[in-house]
Amino acid sequence: MFLTKVKILPWRKHVFGSTPLPGKASFSRLVLGIETSCDDTGAAVLDETGAILGESLHSQKEVHLRTGGIIPTVAQQLHRDHIEAVVQEALERSCVTPAQLSAVATTVKPGLALSLAIGLEFSQRFVRQHNKPFIPIHHMEAHALTVRMLQPVSFPFLVLLVSGGHSLLAVARGVDDFLLLGHSLDEAPGDTLDKVARRLSLIKHPRCSTLSGGQAIELLAKDGDRKMFHFKTPMGQTYDCCFSFAGLRNQVTMTIQKKEAEEGVEQGTLLRCVNDVAAATQHTVACHLAKRTHRAILFCKTNNLLPSNDPTLVLSGGVASNQYIRKVLTIIAETSGLRLICPPSKFCTDNGVMIAWNGVERLREGKGILPPDVDVCYEPKAPLGVDVTAEVRAAAIKLPPIRMKITN
């Protein structure tokens, strides 16, 4: 029955949004995924082949652009206002009723506490009303596994997850088995790019008024000269795989203040060199990510953590949508003999699909599946896997030089 469905609905085609054939949903187990970890309310229904039967997403981007950043209480209220409609729309588009679901998977960690609370409260009411198993999902685990929905990627593989709230390097050894090699020490890269964009007042730029901060930086960087400003790559003498971007943001802020004084303009005015600042900032972020990833690759090779045949680096998370960063990581991967795989941009940002897929993976292996009446707590801060960052630091791996010729 399962194989028959695959032949009728090729999963690779179907996963990118083709319409499910009537009556075919009953051929395999179905999972509803719900995502409310930050500022997007997402829901999706998937079957065991990875076919997206229906999905819905409500983005809060325009609201938070107007307020200059995410205000947790505002995000919470928007989730509360839209979650029921988003879930209902995903079910209707999938032609699936709650009774047909095999389980509900929901992000419970990490993320904004007020946002996580809305998704968890709704989900627990839902599973108890319909008597369905509940699968709590780690947001970063879901990002790491999304690529397996799109193409065959076997464990173990190295994964770099970069977003507005997180950055980490880990070896994925199984659906719920990760070795954490490095993580954010302060700001996440997406947060840094957003803050630099706000300090540059890019929302006033005619090409950037509807873009997020990271998107605006990437767009303007294409027309900028990154060599006009030299920002130091963070933690150059710290030989581990952790990330720090707060110092970079301070460098950029001081440079902006200096240029405002030179141009005789007040804060909030677009600088003439805005494209160059954007290009230099983006390049420094990319280089920091690349150097930590390069060290992680060397650590994995030294400790035989990746297969010798076709080792893989997966890049995911919202910042992975940045094409310049992808180019830099491609150079690192190819130089090191790894294959770089990035999900399409629509699957890098937060969505219900990745949560549902994580639920499918766990359902297949019978891991982390709870009865509907079990109380679950959300966790705003939650590490991923077993932390081996101390071992990485102790290895003190120095990086060989790599020449990178990159065009914007």
pLDDT, tens digit (0-9, with 9 covering 90-100), for 2-50: 222 222 222 333 333 333 433 444 458 999 999 999 989 999 999 999 9
User: Is it the case that residue 120 has pLDDT exceeding 50?
Assistant: yes
Mean pLDDT across 158-172: 94
Alpha-carbon distance 341 to 361, whole Å? 19
Residue 94: domain span: 2-152+348-382
Identify the band that residue 56 occupies on the pLDDT scale cut at 50, 70 and 90: very high
Higher pLDDT, 367 or 166: 367
**Confidence band, pLDDT 50/70/90 cuts, at residue 233:** confident
- What mean pLDDT do residues 252-276 have? 96
Which secondary structure element, helix H or strand E, spans residue 354, and what is its range? helix 352-365
Check whether 408 has a pLDDT greater than 70.
Answer: no
Q: Do 99 and 186 lie in a common domain?
A: no
- Kindly indicate the confidence band of residue 69, based on its pLDDT and cuts at 50, 70 and 90: confident
SS3 call for 132: coil
Residue 215 pLDDT > 90, yes or no?
A: yes
Q: Does 44 share its domain with 88?
A: yes
pLDDT confidence of residue 272: 95
Q: Please give the pLDDT value at position 98.
A: 97
- 309-342 in b/e burial notation, b at 16+ Cβ within 10 A? eebbbbbbbbbbbbebbbebbbbbbeebebebbb
Q: Give the mean pLDDT of 345-374.
A: 95
Closest C-alpha among 347, 350, 346, 352 to residue 33: 352
Does some domain include residue 296? yes
3-state secondary structure of 200: coil
Average pLDDT over residues 79-103: 97
Residues in the chain, how many? 408
CATH number at residue 286: 3.30.420.40
Task: Establish if 214 belongs to a structural domain.
Answer: yes
Residue 221 has pLDDT above 70, yes or no: yes
Residues 108 and 121 in one domain: yes
Q: Answer whether residue 108 shows pLDDT above 60.
A: yes
Average pLDDT in the chain: 91
Whether 105 has a pLDDT exceeding 60, the answer reads: yes
Question: Would you say residue 257 lies in a domain?
Answer: yes
Whether the pLDDT of residue 130 is over 50: the answer is yes
Q: Are residues 138 and 59 in the same domain?
A: yes
Phi-psi category of residue 17: left, alpha or beta, with phi > 0 → left and psi -120 to 50 → alpha: left
Specify whether 175 is located in the same domain as 305.
Answer: yes
Report the pLDDT averaged over residues 245-271: 95
For residue 280, is pLDDT > 60? yes
Residue 130 lies in a domain: yes
* In a shared domain, residues 307 and 248: yes
Give the residue-averaged pLDDT of 373-393.
96
Q: What is the pLDDT of residue 5?
A: 27
Tell me the H-state helices in 10-138: 11-14, 61-67, 72-94, 113-130
Q: How many domains does the chain have?
A: 2
d(CA 334, CA 392): 22
- Crossing angle of helices 323-336 and 213-221, in 10° steps, is 70
Domain-embedded: residue 406:
no
Q: Are residues 369 and 318 in the same domain?
A: no
- Binned at pLDDT 50, 70 and 90, residue 187 comes out as very high
- Strand (E) or helix (H) holding 348: helix 345-348
Residues 297 and 359 in one domain: no
On whether residue 117 sits in a domain, the answer given is yes
- Region of 396 (left: φ > 0; alpha: ψ -120 to 50; beta: rest) is left
Spatial neighbors of 100 by CB under 8 A, at least 6 apart, are 25, 26, 30
Q: Tokens 């494209």 appear where?
A: 275
Q: How confident is the model at residue 66 (pLDDT cuts 50, 70, 90)?
A: confident
Same domain, 147 and 223: no
> 65 pLDDT band (50/70/90 cuts)?
confident
Same domain, 352 and 339: no
Residue 303 belongs to some domain of the structure: yes
Q: Is residue 405 part of a domain?
A: no
Same-domain pairing of 313 and 373: no
Q: Taking residues 301-310, report their average pLDDT.
A: 95
Q: Give the pLDDT band (50/70/90) at residue 236.
A: confident
Is the same domain home to 89 and 194? no
Q: What is the mean pLDDT of residues 308-321?
A: 94
